[in-house]
């Protein structure tokens, strides 16, 4: 990816710490101390007007006084001084600034204004910013710890970014204790300039990074985030927590950072569409990340379990099934080998039980046998610390097996004190260890989702030939007339312009014209009141079905107009719509609402009670491609009804896909459409198409 | 509860270790060593024919040579010697024996026979057994560690039993590292004599135990287990893992222990019905257990969160909502107090953010304010280790607050190395600590489920006045005739005998009798082929609807009989059933299948596609009471359809409840009924009852 580089934050030639302090209780001390202590190889310049040297380095009153060029500035001064410091940085030719100082957007309106000022200064001097309000940046490749974190993680292949600085400290503390390594570690803070999208781009082709991990509270630009993430996940997995998505959580977000959180469903849809693995807790984040960082991907979803204890083996098998993976059936040769070499009481079927008295040799045999079996996509090795279990030797045997095969191995050495030394060896040998089998399985399930994503063809948006000028004309007119909703006739014109099929229908302004229309369409017909002001026609009795004769049509016309004027005396009434009465088929709903974060969110579901009572619907962010449209249809619970139950013919899926794609194009072409419902869309049996009976559309 | 005591296993006056060894690599050494090392206060007798003393204790060649009485024997000799040792134990007057030796039922048929022999010996001498194939028993109250475990857990209020010995070792190791204490700790092994039910009874009124925790692979007697558990959970919570319930897991069970695992749905239903909290992993088991062991129950489901970091606070709020709990709204006085005493940038709304620079005093203030708020049922305290955070002092403040209030507090000190000392203090002060907010929330959710269970009235099975003799007569006749299924007419007699409403209906053996019946019932009628051999009548075209005239009825009779004989030439044909044609109402299915573990498992759901395509059904083990019947109805996803959507009248719930209870009574009264379906049961609007259209019944 060709992006504006962010290398100045990770491997700068020189760093100035503005606000460097000699007082060990100050952040300005901690940052400088970390830079020096953890072996930054470039030049370091403390900036402090009241000291000649700090921590043994010559200090300067201002960054402008530094005799050499400065590539990166870390700013740790009170908020009110940051702007002038940044101005000086700009004058000095600094390329990037990490603003650790807090007291900006997160404290209110004045802070927001000050933050804006920082961005203006940075733009003026073509500087990039991280922060403000951050813990800092740690880079194990460039050996730069420009943060006030307590400690330096080991080098690894996880690139981590977090919108919460406090979470950074907790994650670092856990990583230090568990030997988890990072390539880059960034606290994003208020994201005044750089944000999650910039780092996704920066790390996409980074050879030091195998997995990108993020804690996010909000996203700056949903559409662009999706574009970039979709490209990144083709190269490497992204694991992310998005917090504040439930209604309770969102309340907390808005009181905390002022970030506008998108709805849970939009995030779920968007993350799924671009292949981001969503984690629900920091533990999940670790569990998935170390799996991706240390092990190859699953070759298939069939898992073998090797264990020295029946109980945990059963629990692993339960978890595998619950997670939608499968317990692998071992090849006859594998079972034969295991039967021959393991004691008689052992289980040569999966889970492979090497028994409580197993030494490392049995583990080695069983793990290698499982890895060599073509039916097996990955292996979980469970060890319980029994009396004679050689924990460290077994760990080494597992590590060696892992290094010799291109399939993932997850260890589950259960216990704590007793298994500790073994777990250290596993970590050293890049085998992820999980405290309980369920977590190992969850990590494999995350791998499986990612593998499936990688196997999908890339997004391929097709454009239909449509009459978008006609739609623009209608929408412009609606807006000129000060309306936000459209009438039936307009809806029909839009449907026609975008090739969304609908029943034969005529707008009749008088009863006699309605009769003429009915004669032309053929009985029976349906009639609906036609008014741009009446959205829910059934609610006011504005629809009549089963009209079989001229008399029926005449009566219906008068009745509908009477009811409409009675209910809404000021409504503009255009007459009645006379429509072919559709028989058979199944009711579907297609809809769109515009999410503040991601834009057009498409909805698909079966109509009527399936939507209202069972809430059996699914979502995607538009534009979608043909595969995604197909996925929407097949992932609702009631999908089997469309496939046909009890000998019914299957519904015309291709016609639904086509309509979904046309709606996707319509709402993408016209961002002014705030909401849209085609309800019902009637789908007939395969080959017989769909008919959009009623379309509702609201402008933003 | 008045039960046969198991005290001999927990606080015996004297213990003999049969198979005590001087060789430290032998289990017989480990067991004796543990008994002596961990301070057992009674007398200990090593039994070893080849030694005069073992570990400093005088040894005896046989238990019969011990000069004093022996209350408990721990047997650690090879399987083939166990029976004779046990025989001697019996002669010696031993009251209980823990058989650590393996090599019995778990290794095959011969082992099973040997195990049976042990039980016979024990019965003969009125001895109780634990095992065989166990880790042993640990009792912190009686200071007895009669196991080969590595270490002795601290004293606590969790009583633990496990069917997997290996899992015991892992749990102990984790407990030792995390300072989790137990009252009693039992490895159940093969459960030849004592099983989970015995220990539930023994610990029900045990003053040292606040929570009973179990790992189970199978249950010995489902109905009795439910009876006992239902009584125990009125006194104290039971937290249990039941493994091997998915199909993959069950396969693993049967290859491992030969335990017949019940189906997942039966276990879920049974555990829910008796108030057992189900854990899905050993981590869950720990998380829930320490919450129950150390903290009072939630007073309501509204949770306050106190945090020094926004991000984790948001994650806690998300998790609270996802778990079905609520983020508490704080009283105005609480918010006022917090606003007054906390810095301006802090959040006085829930989550209460005391900010990154909070010292212990702010935590103390906020936690106490939350606990004093009547809207708050429980509190989660999150701490991230920031630069100046006083971790240990904060832990003490949290512990003190916890000791002064009768509401649960869960801590979440995030990180590892840095927060370790604080976590130790929390453990000491009985505040459970969780690594991530999501786990603290899960523990509170488990508490909430248990609180709801405790608030429910006890089970109250009502008996209807029914004609059970009639049913017995029918079933006897069916069996005498060598059938396992019943015909329509018999089904109708059974429905009538148990007061299950059905449409007017007559069995007609000729076409003319059918016409007469139709005239009497009134048109339209439905006709169905009547044969005890044809179960799925619709599949062979054996049902005709909408018959409006004598001619229709005559034609239908001939047609149905023709089709039946064509499809099943050997079927016994009784004629046709002429039935009132039911109009309106909603289709429901009630059913029962007999679970091998728990017996009659009732099913309830909406009929047709809801059962077949959406699998929207719910289960209970019969007999059920009125509350449980009501719960079945309201917990299906499509419940809103019964309540009435789009202005429809609500369905007659009371009539469904009544029918569920009658079916429950029927299948409880007649264990020979293996399967039963009433499908459809038509429910009409409130006050208008139900009609069971078709009942299918299969004998075992």
Per residue in A524-548, pLDDT (tens digit) is: 999 999 887 887 777 788 899 999 9
- For residue B235, is pLDDT > 60? yes
Q: Is the CB of residue B208 less than 8 Å from the CB of residue B141?
A: yes
Quick check: B181 contacting A, CB < 8 Å? no
* Preceding peptide of B680 cis, ω within 30°: yes
- For residue A640, is pLDDT > 90? no
pLDDT at A246: 62
**Record: fold of A586-699:** D-amino Acid Aminotransferase; Chain A, domain 1 (3.30.470)
Cα–Cα dist B19/B31, whole Å? 10
Cα–Cα dist A73/A86, whole Å? 9
B664: closest CA among B598, B597, B601, B596?
B601
CB contact under 8 A, B281 and A320: no
Using pLDDT thresholds of 50, 70 and 90, give the confidence band for residue A685.
very high
Residue of B nearest to A147 (CA): B387
Quick check: A162 contacting B, CB < 8 Å? yes
Q: Is the CB of residue B316 less than 8 Å from the CB of residue B440?
A: yes
Per residue in A134-144, pLDDT (tens digit) is: 999 999 999 99
Quick check: B217 contacting A, CB < 8 Å? yes
Q: Which two tokens stand for residue A671?
A: 């961002």
Beta-bridge mates of residue B96: B72, B128
Quick check: A421 contacting B, CB < 8 Å? no
Q: Is the CB of residue B695 less than 8 Å from the CB of residue B667?
A: no
Cα–Cα dist B636/B639, whole Å? 5
- For residue A392, is pLDDT > 80? yes
Q: Find chain A residues with C-beta within 8 A of B641's C-beta.
A: 609, 613
Determine the distance from the C-alpha atom of residue A596 to the mean position of all C-alpha atoms in its chain, rounded to a whole number. 15
Strand order in the sheet with A575-580: A505-508, A575-580, A525-530, A543-547
- CATH 3.30.1490.20, chain B: domain bounds: 504-581
Determine the distance from the C-alpha atom of residue B446 to the mean position of all C-alpha atoms in its chain, rounded to a whole number. 13
A432: closest CA among A164, A66, A97, A179?
A179
- For residue A263, is pLDDT > 80? no
The backbone torsions φ and ψ at residue A370, rounded to the nearest 5 degrees and listed phi first, read: -65, -45
Cα–Cα dist B238/B200, whole Å? 9
A323: closest CA among B280, B571, B425?
B280
Q: Find chain B residues with C-beta within 8 A of A243's C-beta.
A: 311, 314-315, 318
Q: Is the CB of residue A160 less than 8 Å from the CB of residue A185?
A: yes
**Record: fold of B504-581:** Dna Ligase; domain 1 (3.30.1490)
DSSP string, B396-428: HHHHHHHHH-SS-EEEEE--STTTHHHHHHHHH
In 3-state terms, what secondary structure has residue A313?
helix
pLDDT at B540: 83
Superfamily classification of domain B295-455: Succinyl-CoA synthetase domains (3.40.50.261)
Helix axes A626-635, A653-669, angle to 10 degrees: 120
Query: A256-265, B601-610, B613-622 — which is least confidently predicted?
Result: A256-265
Taking only residues 545 to 604 of chain B, the set having a beta carbon closer than 8 angstroms to any beta carbon of chain A reads none
Which segments within B566-646 are labelled E, that is strand?
Answer: 575-580, 586-595, 599-606, 617-621
A18: closest CA among A77, A87, A70?
A77
Quick check: B165 contacting A, CB < 8 Å? yes
Taking only residues 269 to 298 of chain B, the set having a beta carbon closer than 8 angstroms to any beta carbon of chain A reads 280-283
Residues in contact with A152: Cβ distance below 8 Å, sequence separation at least 6, in sequence order? A34, A37, A38, A138, A140, A145
Q: Which two tokens stand for residue A497?
A: 């312009």
Tally DSSP H helices, then E strands, for chain B: 24, 29
Cα–Cα dist A690/A638, whole Å? 18
Cα–Cα dist A282/B437, whole Å? 9
Please compute the mean of the pLDDT values over residues B502-507 and round it to a whole number: 88
Per residue in A230-251, pLDDT (tens digit) is: 999 999 999 999 988 666 555 4
- For residue B321, is pLDDT > 60? yes
CB contact under 8 A, A249 and B312: no
Tally of CB atoms within 10 A around B184: 25
Please compute the mean of the pLDDT values over residues B364-377 and round it to a whole number: 97
Q: Is the CB of residue B399 less than 8 Å from the CB of residue B369?
A: no
Å between B104 CA and nearest CA of chain A = 11
Task: Show the 3-state SS of B229-271.
Answer: HHHHHHHCCEEEEECCCCHHHHHHHHHHCCCCCCCHHHHHHHH
Cβ-based burial of A80 (10 A; exposed 0-12, middle 13-18, buried ≥19): exposed
Separation in Å, CA A358 to CA A47, A308, B134, B135, B243: 62, 7, 17, 16, 23
pLDDT at A258: 29
- For residue B261, is pLDDT > 70? no
ipTM of the complex: 0.89
- pTM of the entire predicted model: 0.90
The shortest CB-CB distance from B248 to any of A321, A347, A638 is to: A321
Please compute the mean of the pLDDT values over residues B388-398 and round it to a whole number: 94
CA dihedral B621, B622, B625, B630 (to 10 degrees): 60
Q: Which two tokens stand for residue A655?
A: 């016609």
DSSP tag of B149: -
Quick check: B27 contacting A, CB < 8 Å? yes
- For residue B257, is pLDDT > 60? no
Determine the distance from the C-alpha atom of residue A213 to the mean position of all C-alpha atoms in its chain, rounded to a whole number. 12
Cα–Cα dist B562/A377, whole Å? 56
pLDDT at B197: 97
- CATH 3.30.470.20, chain A: domain bounds: 586-699
Token pair 């569920």: residue: B660
What CATH number does domain A504-580 carry, 3.30.1490.20, 1.10.357.10, 2.60.120.200, 3.30.1280.10?
3.30.1490.20
The shortest CB-CB distance from A281 to any of B164, B251, B438 is to: B438
Average pLDDT value for chain B: 92
Quick check: B148 contacting A, CB < 8 Å? yes
- CATH 3.40.50.720, chain A: domain bounds: 7-291
Beta-bridge mates of residue A326: A302
Q: Is the CB of residue B580 less than 8 Å from the CB of residue B525?
A: yes
Cα–Cα dist B294/B444, whole Å? 12
- For residue B99, is pLDDT > 60? yes
Residues in contact with B536: Cβ distance below 8 Å, sequence separation at least 6, in sequence order? none
Taking only residues 632 to 671 of chain B, the set having a beta carbon closer than 8 angstroms to any beta carbon of chain A reads 637-638, 640-641, 645-646
B89: closest CA among B76, B105, B106?
B76
- For residue A668, is pLDDT > 90? yes
Separation in Å, CA B45 to CA B76, B89, B134: 13, 13, 20
- CATH 3.40.50.261, chain B: domain bounds: 295-455
Cα–Cα dist A168/A151, whole Å? 12
CB contact under 8 A, B317 and A252: yes
CB contact under 8 A, B167 and A256: no
Q: Find chain B residues with C-beta within 8 A of A310's C-beta.
A: 164, 166, 217, 252, 256-257
CA dihedral A621, A626, A632, A634 (to 10 degrees): -170
Q: Find chain B residues with C-beta within 8 A of A109's C-beta.
A: none
CB contact under 8 A, B281 and A638: no
Using pLDDT thresholds of 50, 70 and 90, give the confidence band for residue A498.
very high
The shortest CB-CB distance from A641 to any of B356, B613, B640 is to: B613
The backbone torsions φ and ψ at residue B648, rounded to the nearest 5 degrees and listed phi first, read: -65, 155
Q: Which two tokens stand for residue B64?
A: 């019969």
* Preceding peptide of A167 cis, ω within 30°: no
CB contact under 8 A, B281 and A609: no
Q: Find chain A residues with C-beta within 8 A of B278's C-beta.
A: none
CB contact under 8 A, A384 and B417: no
Å between A347 CA and nearest CA of chain B = 7
- For residue B569, is pLDDT > 70? yes
What CATH number does domain A7-291 carry, 3.40.50.720, 2.60.120.10, 3.90.1150.10, 2.60.40.1180?
3.40.50.720
Cα–Cα dist B413/A170, whole Å? 9
Å between B117 CA and nearest CA of chain A = 21
Return the percentage of chain B with pLDDT > 70, whole number.
97
The backbone torsions φ and ψ at residue A193, rounded to the nearest 5 degrees and listed phi first, read: -120, -80
The backbone torsions φ and ψ at residue A340, rounded to the nearest 5 degrees and listed phi first, read: -70, -40
pLDDT at A108: 84
Separation in Å, CA B448 to CA A71, B160, B236, B299, B303: 56, 22, 14, 9, 11
DSSP tag of B118: H
């Amino acid at each position: 990816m060709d992006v504006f580089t962010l290398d100045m934050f990770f491997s700068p030639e020189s760093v100035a710490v503005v606000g460097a302090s000699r007082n060990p209780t100050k952040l300005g001390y901690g940052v400088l101390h970390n830079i020096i202590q953890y072996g930054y190889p470039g030049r370091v310049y403390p900036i402090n007007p009241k000291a000649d040297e700090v921590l043994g380095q010559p200090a300067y009153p201002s960054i402008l006084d530094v005799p050499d060029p400065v590539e990166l500035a870390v700013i740790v001064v009170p908020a009110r001084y940051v702007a002038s410091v940044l101005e000086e940085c700009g004058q000095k030719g600094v390329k990037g600034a990490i603003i650790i100082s807090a007291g900006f957007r997160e404290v209110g309106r004045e802070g927001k204004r000050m933050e804006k000022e920082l961005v203006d200064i940075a733009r003026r001097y073509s500087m990039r910013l991280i922060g403000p309000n951050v813990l800092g940046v740690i880079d194990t490749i460039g050996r730069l710890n420009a943060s006030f974190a307590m400690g330096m993680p080991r080098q690894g292949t996880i690139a981590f970014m977090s919108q919460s600085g406090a979470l950074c400290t907790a994650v670092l503390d856990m990583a230090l204790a568990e030997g988890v390594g990072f390539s880059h570690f960034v606290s994003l803070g208020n994201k005044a300039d750089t944000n999650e999208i910039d780092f996704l781009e920066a790390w996409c082709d980074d050879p030091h990074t195998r997995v990108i991990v993020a804690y996010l509270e909000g996203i700056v630009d949903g559409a662009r985030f999706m574009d970039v993430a979709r490209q990144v996940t083709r190269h490497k997995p992204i694991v992310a927590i998005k917090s504040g998505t439930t209604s309770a959580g969102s309340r907390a977000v808005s009181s905390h950072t002022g970030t506008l959180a998108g709805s849970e469903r939009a995030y779920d849809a968007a993350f799924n569409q671009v292949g981001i693995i969503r984690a629900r807790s920091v533990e999940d984040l670790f569990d998935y990340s170390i799996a991706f960082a240390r092990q190859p991907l699953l070759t298939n979803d069939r898992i073998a379990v090797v264990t020295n204890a029946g109980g945990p083996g059963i629990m692993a098998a339960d978890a595998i099934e619950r997670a939608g993976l499968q317990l692998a059936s071992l090849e006859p040769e594998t079972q034969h080998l295991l039967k021959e070499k393991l004691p008689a009481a052992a289980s040569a079927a999966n889970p492979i039980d090497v028994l409580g008295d197993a030494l490392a040799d049995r583990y080695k045999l069983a793990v290698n046998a499982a890895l060599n079996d073509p039916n097996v996509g990955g292996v979980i090795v469970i060890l319980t610390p029994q009396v004679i279990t050689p924990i460290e030797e077994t760990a080494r045997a597992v590590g060696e097996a892992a290094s010799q095969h291109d399939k993932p191995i997850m260890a589950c050495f259960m216990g704590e004190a007793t298994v500790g030394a073994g777990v250290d060896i596993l970590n050293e040998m890049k085998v992820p260890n999980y405290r309980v089998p369920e977590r190992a399985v969850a990590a494999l399930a995350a791998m499986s989702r990612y593998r499936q994503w990688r196997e999908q063809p890339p997004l391929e948006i097709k454009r239909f030939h449509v009459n978008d000028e006609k739609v623009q004309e209608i929408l412009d007119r609606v807006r000129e007339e000060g309306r936000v909703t459209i009438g039936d006739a307009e809806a029909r014109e839009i449907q026609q312009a975008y090739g969304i099929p609908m029943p034969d229908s005529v707008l009749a302004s008088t009863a006699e014209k309605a009769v003429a229309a009915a004669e032309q369409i053929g009985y029976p017909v349906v009639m609906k009141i036609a008014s741009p002001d009446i959205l829910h026609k059934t609610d006011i009795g504005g629809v009549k079905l089963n009209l079989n004769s001229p008399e029926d049509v005449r009566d219906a016309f008068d009745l509908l107009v009477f009811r409409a004027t009675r209910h809404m005396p000021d409504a503009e009434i255009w007459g009645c719509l006379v429509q072919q009465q559709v028989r058979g088929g199944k009711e579907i709903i297609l809809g769109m609402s515009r999410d503040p974060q991601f834009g057009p969110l498409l909805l698909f579901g079966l109509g009527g009670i399936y939507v209202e009572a069972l809430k059996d619907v699914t979502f995607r962010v538009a534009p979608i491609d043909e595969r995604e449209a197909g996925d929407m249809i097949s992932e609702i619970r009631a999908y089997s009804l469309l496939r046909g139950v009890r000998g019914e013919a299957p519904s015309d899926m291709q016609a639904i896909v086509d309509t979904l794609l046309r709606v996707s194009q319509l709402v993408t072409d016209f961002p002014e459409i705030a909401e849209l419902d085609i309800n019902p869309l009637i789908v007939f049996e395969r080959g017989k198409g769909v008919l959009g009976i009623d379309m509702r559309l609201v402008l933003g």
